[in-house]
Structure 1
Amino acid sequence: MRLMLAAVTVDAARAAAGQRRWHVSDTARVVAAMDLGFAGQAVLSTDFGYTVALQFGGGYQVHVEVPLTLRIDGLDREIEPGRNADASAVAQLSGQVVSVARADDSGGLRIQFAGGTRLVATPDSAFEAWTVAGPDGLKVVCGPGGELSVWSPRQS
């Protein structure tokens, strides 16, 4: 993960536990897309309500709280958390293996699956759009306007 940080804050309590929280300001530019670290992991389960929740192997989870685009079988489908008609499309992700999982410099989330399926979520101007959580306390949160906050994994 290569970041050029314009403004960085470190949460002291987490730093004492060997974990750092990075706050990436809206003036910061990501030199390259941020690899979220769970390529090669399969979707173990999905949950659909007012949040789209995906559980992956390796201890990774993704929660999306905004409308997203899901491409399945070459067709883009707009998925809105809380709209019951979309639950079956999200359930089709079960068992699929991630080939790419990235966040971009605008706060967008892109998860590409080996079979061509893809999930794309964009930031919301007023609310947190998505969260990725991983092993050892890794967390990436897309805040309002696409501002990313990153908590690095605890060091062993």
Structure 2
Amino acid sequence: MSESLLTEHDDRWIMNLRGQDVTRISIDHQLTLLLDSGARITLGCPFELTQGANRTDEPVVLDPGIQDVAAALGLFGAEVLSAVAFKTGSMRLVFDNGCHLNSRAHPDYEAWEVVGPEGWRIISRPSGGLAVWPGQAGDRKAEHTARG
């Protein structure tokens, strides 16, 4: 299996984005992080950003819908250490600069979406759960993960 594909576990998907750098940050009604592989992380609902290895500071809540995302600009140039999509619809990203980005499922909207470099895609479904498309992994067809 290619390093850039998804790895499924009982309660989560590992999005193999490790070692990729944030090369562009876009802000409109969403916050989009573009990685050097071409992978794209889009957040459309409020999410939390914490900083520091021990994460003792209170998380900062950022809301892309009102362009309140200034704290996320510090992710520019950061390297992804870990990217996990939980089957409950939450996502956790960890960066080499000590930042942790956490997004939960939204009751009414798709809170976030990640599109990988080989065409795989994971979307947080409204009210929880994930929609998962594995991409170009042979003849595998699109899969939809049940709510976690």
TM-score, normalised by the number of residues in structure 1:
0.75
Gaps of 5+ in 2: 1-6, 139-148
> How many residues are paired up?
128
Once the two structures are superposed, the pairs formed by residues 6-155 of structure 1 within 5 Å of their partners are: 31-73=10-52, 74=55, 75=57, 76-84=59-67, 86-155=68-137
Of Structure 1 and Structure 2, the greater helix share is in: 1
Higher strand share: 2
| Kept in 2: contact 1:125–1:145 (CA 8 A) | yes
Distance 1:127 1:82, change over 3 A: closer
- Alignment RMSD: 1.6
1:64·1:131 contact (CA, 8 Å) conserved in 2?
yes
The one-letter code matched in structure 2 to 1:63 is T
1:104-129 per-residue CA deviation (whole Å, 9 max, x = no partner) reads 12110100011210100000111111
Q: Which of the two has higher C-alpha Rg?
A: 1
The DSSP-based 3-state class of the residue aligned with 1:135 is coil
Q: Distance in 2 between matches of 1:150 and 1:143?
A: 10
Runs of 4+ in 1 over 4 A off after TM superposition: none
Question: Where in structure 1 are there 5+ consecutive unaligned residues?
Answer: 4-30
